[in-house]
Structure 1
Amino acid sequence: MRWIRAAGRGLLALAVVLCGHAASAGPADGGRDDGRGPMTLATAGDLTGYLGPVLEGWNRAHPGERVRLVELPDSADETRAQMITDLRSGAGRFDVLNIDVAWTSEFAAAGWIAPLEPERFPLRSFLPPVVDTATYDGKLHAVPYVTNAGMLFYRKDVLDGAGERPPRTWAELERQARTIATRHGLAGYAGQFLPYEGLTVNAAEAVYSAGGTILGDDGERVTVDSAAARSGLGFLARGVRDGWIPREALSFKEEESRQAFQDGRLLFLRNWPYAYAGASGPGSAVAGKFGAVPLPGPDGPGTSVLGGSNLAVSTHARHPRSARDLIAYLTSEQVQRRVLTEGALPPVRAELYTDPALVRAFPYLPALRSSVLAAQPRPKSPHYEQVSLAVQAVAHDVMAQHQTPEAAVRRLAAELAAIARRR
């Protein structure tokens, strides 16, 4: 989520959330009893400033259904906490919620967001995997708004000088990180390995790339105890043990890892697309010297975890018909184009990834499209926060050499089983 903040400066963490004034609807606040009327929309740090002008376009066309923007804290945890407090209270201050994709299952299972009619929204125009992040229990509970997928950033100048191509497999990445990086005084590879949501993502990508899963689609069946999971965590542990992942990276979040690459200290970096802007900007030691490709896997391209956010309608929304119409507006082709060009955020509309003018302006779009099409959502669970904490803790212990991959996978399976039994 930190990738939205860096999108503004060089880009960072997304979670648009729609929050509002003090609650009650009805004629006293200008509302009408047909489900239409004014709304509020709060976002966790719109640091690029694109959303205000986008909403002004809606307000000019819908003077009786104006939307007011309220910005919540940058921290995803704080944003989630504020949303849940309001939703549990039934205060009804939120009409539309732009929630992190990982929260959709939790919010839907709790009954906080309303099911939506799939035919009401342009889902067929979206990159197919992003729609899966908005569904729970076979129903559409949100509409994708912004997507994201992890990519491998690499020093093109260094690999070209060695007569090498960017790695497509873990073995190629490991060999280049151990040999070429060392010859150029660089660290080999880094991701986001501090115990927080970023480590959950990195660990899940390693497991998925190896062909494994963590939970079944129902969020209750534990599937992590597998050879694939042991292989994925083993890949990360081996990197630290053998030195091609620097121990410093165990303290990296998005920004620390981006800065290390941008300063010219890394050969390879796993990060979100926002890192492209900073690494290309003034003062970057690698501007014009790097490229971005899909993540590698054991035998070929790997599997990224989908990031981004989804728009949902609160079950306590004062004006649900207006809320659904606002979501349709925000996912229209015109607005999605502005999400990319003015907000520097990856859109969900498939046609934008092959638009020649956009590809010239954002050269990473073809590689990002490939990454998104091969990506998978984070484990779906009504207890996602607990699931993520368990994955983080286990993955960190493995990378810090405190536990073997085999023992760690058994431990994680037991912890996830206990979480799944909670009601």
Structure 2
Amino acid sequence: MLFESAPDDISLNVVTVARPALHRVLTHSVAEGRAPDLAVLDSVWTHEFAAAGFLYALEDLNEAWVRGEYEADFLPPLVAASRYEERTFAVSGFADAAGLWYRRRELESAGIRPPGTWSHLRSASRALMKTGIPHPLVMPGGSKGGETTAYCLTAFLASNGAQVLGPAGVTLHSRATAQALRFLHGLVETGILSAEVVRYEWNRPIRLLAEAQAAISFGGSYEALALAESLGVPLQSLGEQVGFIPVPAGPRGAAASVLGSMVFGIFRQAGNPIGAMRLLESAVAPASLANVARSTGRIPARRSAVALAAPEVPFLAQTAGFLDRAVTRPSTPSYARVSSQL
């Protein structure tokens, strides 16, 4: 993506880091005085890195672009999440939404509509058990699932009007949270959800869905390409095999999704911050994002790019519709500790 969109007068030296090690590698690089000019980081680290003074406020590099393009065209929840003390420190290229994947054939064969509420999810799962699927619902449920577990749990809590953090601090002691956890516990007790989910790696649930060992899976929109490849279908035809919907509504809430992304940030140790900003602007240009979306199914973070790609990838049109209503993961410099506790 960066090589294809880089201006002709900018040469690139790209280092690839595995996602689980990325936070550690970036913080160590800053400590050693050799941070990259431009880096990709998880959006929930933006406040942590900004508060620590690691990143440039992008208004200092090109305020006209921030006001004229970023604030005008990018998804509002992502714009808000990239700001710290009223300044912009990161830019999302793509958006990820948490929700439920489901196999169309299994649900249609059992005469089941995609669930819209918790009670419907439970009754649909019970009906699917009768078709021979021992544990029809799957999700990442433990520390081995890493950030994917926190991502899915945050969306599930939001579907019952619960949140992880509020203005006064941690809010996991609420009645809405307790009700959500009791519901999940009940799914395990009835066999709908296997107790083994606490040992699943982050991508185990979606593999079980692709193998028809489950019919419904908590997950993220970013799994679209991997799911299409596992099912052996073109990305453009994925919607014929599976559907993707927000997490069904709980008794105290409404159908919900959590919006997340990886973002570009420019480090204060950058040798060429203006060049890094030009590269960032090129990488997130509408045509660049649309090209990547067509081949990967990723949802562009700006509306104009969605409009360019959606006619060729129906999945984008399906998921982009509920992004404006999605919530974001807690924005706090201490998010890494919050996530590990979830």
TM-score, with structure 1 as normaliser: 0.72
**Matching residue's letter, 1:152:** L
**Residue by residue, what CA displacement relative to the aligned partner does 1:147-187 show, whole Å, maximum 9, x if unpaired?**
10113111212222233310111111111011233324352
Give the deviation of 1:388 after TM superposition: 1.2
Match for residue 14 of structure 2? 69
For the 8 Å contact 1:151–1:368, the answer to whether it is kept is: no
Residue in structure 1 matching 2:97, options 131, 149, 165: 149
1:296 aligns with 2:248: yes
Match for residue 169 of structure 1? 117
For the 8 Å contact 1:167–1:296, the answer to whether it is kept is: yes
For the 8 Å contact 1:198–1:253, the answer to whether it is kept is: no
Measure the CA separation in 2 of the matches of 1:294 and 1:352.
Answer: 22
**Residue by residue, what CA displacement relative to the aligned partner does 1:257-280 show, whole Å, maximum 9, x if unpaired?**
111000001121111224333433
Q: 1:197 to 1:279 in 2, by over 3 A?
A: closer
**Residue by residue, what CA displacement relative to the aligned partner does 1:194-216 show, whole Å, maximum 9, x if unpaired?**
21222212221122111122223
Residue in structure 1 matching 2:78, options 108, 112, 130: 130
Q: 1:347 to 1:283 in 2, by over 3 A?
A: closer
Match for residue 230 of structure 1? 178
Q: Could you say what secondary structure the match of 2:244 adopts?
A: strand
Give the deviation of 1:67 after TM superposition: 2.5
1:86 aligns with 2:20: no
Match for residue 262 of structure 2? 309
**Residue by residue, what CA displacement relative to the aligned partner does 1:71-95 show, whole Å, maximum 9, x if unpaired?**
22x2x23111111011123x24411
1:353 aligns with 2:306: yes
Measure the CA separation in 2 of the matches of 1:59 and 1:360.
Answer: 28
Q: Could you say what secondary structure the match of 1:317 adopts?
A: coil
For the 8 Å contact 1:333–1:349, the answer to whether it is kept is: yes
Match for residue 329 of structure 2? 378
Structure with the greater alpha carbon radius of gyration: 1
Match for residue 210 of structure 1? 160
Match for residue 183 of structure 1? 131
For the 8 Å contact 1:189–1:244, the answer to whether it is kept is: yes
For the 8 Å contact 2:247–2:257, the answer to whether it is kept is: yes
Q: Could you say what secondary structure the match of 1:266 adopts?
A: coil
Measure the CA separation in 2 of the matches of 1:245 and 1:284.
Answer: 26
- Percent of pairs with identical residues: 23
**Matching residue's letter, 2:285:** S
Give the deviation of 1:57 after TM superposition: 4.2
For the 8 Å contact 1:313–1:323, the answer to whether it is kept is: yes
Give the deviation of 1:235 after TM superposition: 2.4
Deviates more, 1:295-304 or 1:231-240: 295-304
**Matching residue's letter, 1:215:** L
Q: Could you say what secondary structure the match of 2:327 adopts?
A: coil
Measure the CA separation in 2 of the matches of 1:184 and 1:352.
Answer: 42
Measure the CA separation in 1 of the matches of 2:250 and 2:200.
Answer: 24
For the 8 Å contact 2:259–2:329, the answer to whether it is kept is: yes
Q: Could you say what secondary structure the match of 1:312 adopts?
A: strand
Q: 1:371 to 1:186 in 2, by over 3 A?
A: farther
**Residue by residue, what CA displacement relative to the aligned partner does 1:19-40 show, whole Å, maximum 9, x if unpaired?**
xxxxxxxxxxxxxxxxxxxxxx
Q: 1:172 to 1:119 in 2, by over 3 A?
A: farther
Q: Which stretches in structure 1 are left out of the alignment for 5+ residues?
A: 1-50, 392-423
